[in-house]
Amino acid sequence: MTKFSDLNLDKKVLKAVEETGYETPTPIQAGAIPPALEGRDVLGIAQTGTGKTASFTLPMISMLKRGRARARMPRSLVLAPTRELAAQVAENFDAYAKHTKLTKALLIGGVSFKEQDALIDRGVDVLIATPGRLLDHFERGKLILSDVKIMVIDEADRMLDMGFIPDIERIFGLTPFTRQTLFFSATMAPEIERITNTFLSNPAKVEVARAATTSENIKQGVVMFKGGQKQTAEKHKLLRDLIKSEGDECRNGIIFCNRKIDVDAVAKSMTKAGLDASPIHGDLDQSHRMKTLAGFRDGTLRFLVASDVAARGLDIPNVSHVFNYDVPSHAEDYVHRIGRTGRAGKKGTAIMICTPRDEKNFDDIERLVEMAIPRVEMPGGAPKAAPAEEPKQDTASTEDKPKRTRTRGGRGRKSDAAKVEAAPVETKVETPKQDAPAPKVEEPKVEAPKAAEAPRQDTSDKPKRSRGGRSRGGNRDNNDRGPKVVGMGDDAPDFIAKSFDERQGS
């Protein structure tokens, strides 16, 4: 069996490894460290939780033991997709390089530029960064990448999912062509393969597991959940019931949600129920995120409710359970999520809640992992049929509406207000309709035209001029009209008065 002492690592590095308690390298470490120490490019493909971080930090420290960095010119560069993963790489570097004089800087968002600039100005041997923040420093003229000798791309498939590939290609162009590249990914998408063919030179390919496989140490299960109208509240309760059903075996756990808004809602629901939980997602302040992770690692926080920002690469030891509150949209994310448990040979449990609208994504997951995930019964015999009957009552209540429209259907399309007024009119007319049907129908048809026809006969010669006095003059007798036009006042023009007198004389 291979030991770390057989990998030609520096003695100070070996001492640090022994102090951390590791004796035997994982398959990816045993396969990647020797060619990396030889100066070759390395393409490492392994599932999450296999120790990829040590596969590049250990040889990097051994190769950088000689030499010194200059201001703003790091000697090595490590790119990670998320802040948490970059911070984890920095922690690993501190643990393995504690007996050396190598320096590092961590460039991530949510931290002051001024503090990071001060570290870069002093010169660092290892620069650990996210792509966006690295390019920000470079564009501000605070960073020079022409002296990078070793470049590491960690979780490359996650970089692809987050849209960082254009940034990665640009950073590759800013580093020397003679650099050594260590490239690690859990899967090999066509775009990832294109990048490796472009920027890696005759790499040593180390593949220790089939892409997108789940660990045998993880007990998996899925609850097929059908909720009613209050599906969100019912789903929250189901999650709490699943946690309680695991009993003492559920020491801690990570709950994954697809959306940030659900992360906050689930954490709030669990806190109200007396379960110690805290959210973590990309919209939270970096200091708050680091504090939450630290509390979960040291055991002061029992449950971590997270988005996919915490799904990949994070090495959180002793996680007993992973709960997928939502079925992940991408099948590969399921493998990375449940990979937070069952690490380092320990047992773990992963339970997922699947609703009818998630069944397509669930089928993709089973197809990817090439196994049927066992179905788990709802704890406590949670009702399934009762919520399903509620929509039937709603549809039944709406059946009254068509009955109403049948009686009014022949009246044509009208506004809702007109229909409401028409309904009571019909009921009132039905009883007196036999007594006097004719007068009620004739009144609106006969009287209105007479009022309009009378003035038209008087003013047929000049309709436009008599329009103003039509309504007023029509209500009075013609003999009462004097030489002046009524309603025009004393200032009536002569031509109007003359025309009126002429009509009177005729």
Q: Which two tokens stand for residue 190?
A: 């066509």
Residue 441 lies in a domain: no
Residue 442 lies in a domain: no
The DSSP secondary-structure symbol of 224 reads E
Rounded to whole angstroms, how far apart are CA atoms 159 and 187? 11
Which residues make Cβ contacts (< 8 Å) with residue 387, sequence separation at least 6?
226, 227, 228, 229, 230, 231, 234
Nearest-5° angle of CA 129, CA 134, CA 135?
155
Where is the domain boundary, 354, 386, 418?
386
Q: Which residues pair with 180 in a beta bridge?
A: 150
Residues 177 and 244 in one domain: no
Long-range contacts of 86-89 (CB under 8 A, 24+ apart): 86/128, 86/129, 86/130, 87/290, 88/53, 88/313, 88/314, 88/315, 89/53, 89/57, 89/128, 89/154
Residues 196 and 267 in one domain: no
Residue 213 lies in a domain: no
Residue 285 lies in a domain: yes
Q: Which two tokens stand for residue 68?
A: 């010194």
pLDDT tens for each residue of the chain, 506 residues long = 678 989 999 999 999 999 988 888 989 999 999 999 999 999 998 876 678 899 999 999 999 988 888 899 999 999 999 888 899 899 999 999 999 999 999 999 888 899 899 999 999 999 999 999 999 999 999 999 999 999 999 989 888 878 899 999 999 999 999 999 999 988 788 888 999 999 999 999 998 865 556 778 899 999 999 877 788 999 999 999 999 999 999 999 999 999 989 999 999 999 999 999 999 987 888 788 888 988 998 999 999 999 886 556 567 778 999 999 999 988 888 988 898 888 777 889 999 999 999 999 999 999 988 899 999 988 765 444 333 344 444 444 444 444 444 444 444 444 444 443 444 444 444 444 444 444 444 444 444 444 444 444 444 444 445 444 444 444 444 444 455 545 555 566 666 655 555 555 55
Rounded to whole angstroms, how far apart are CA atoms 313 and 154? 9
Q: Which two tokens stand for residue 266?
A: 């689930």
Where is the domain boundary, 207, 229, 264?
207
Read off the CATH number of the domain in which 326 is found. 3.40.50.300
Residues 420 and 496 in one domain: no
- DSSP letters, 440-455, are HHHHHHHHHHHHHHHH
Q: Which residue has the tokens 């809640």?
A: 353
Residues 47 and 177 in one domain: yes
Residues 296 and 316 in one domain: yes
Task: Count Cβ atoms within 10 A of the Cβ of residue 143 and give its class: 0-12 exposed, 13-18 middle, 19 or more buried.
Answer: buried
Residues 163 and 43 in one domain: yes
Residue span of the structural domain in which 248 resides: 218-386
Q: What are the Cα distances from residue 283, in Å, to 105, 161, 465?
A: 24, 18, 74
Q: Which two tokens stand for residue 347?
A: 């047992």
Residues 261 and 134 in one domain: no
Residues 224 and 134 in one domain: no
Q: Which residue has the tokens 């620069």?
A: 127
Q: How many domains does the chain have?
A: 4
Q: Which residue has the tokens 């960064």?
A: 129
Residue 318 lies in a domain: yes
- Rounded to the nearest 10°, the torsion over CA 205, 163, 253, 78 is 50
Residue 448 lies in a domain: no
3-state helix, strand, coil split of the chain in percent (to 5) is: 50, 10, 40
Residues 198 and 60 in one domain: yes
Residue 395 lies in a domain: no
Distance from CA of residue 282 to its chain's centroid? 10
- CB of 280 closer than 8 Å to CB of 254: no
Residues 230 and 373 in one domain: yes
Residues 275 and 177 in one domain: no
Residues 461 and 327 in one domain: no
Which residues make Cβ contacts (< 8 Å) with residue 302, sequence separation at least 6?
251, 252, 253, 275, 276, 277
Residue 440 lies in a domain: no
Q: What are the Cα distances from residue 400, in Å, to 408, 420, 500?
A: 14, 15, 64
pTM for this one? Answer: 0.62
Q: Which two tokens stand for residue 290?
A: 């680091």
First to last CA, the chain: 132
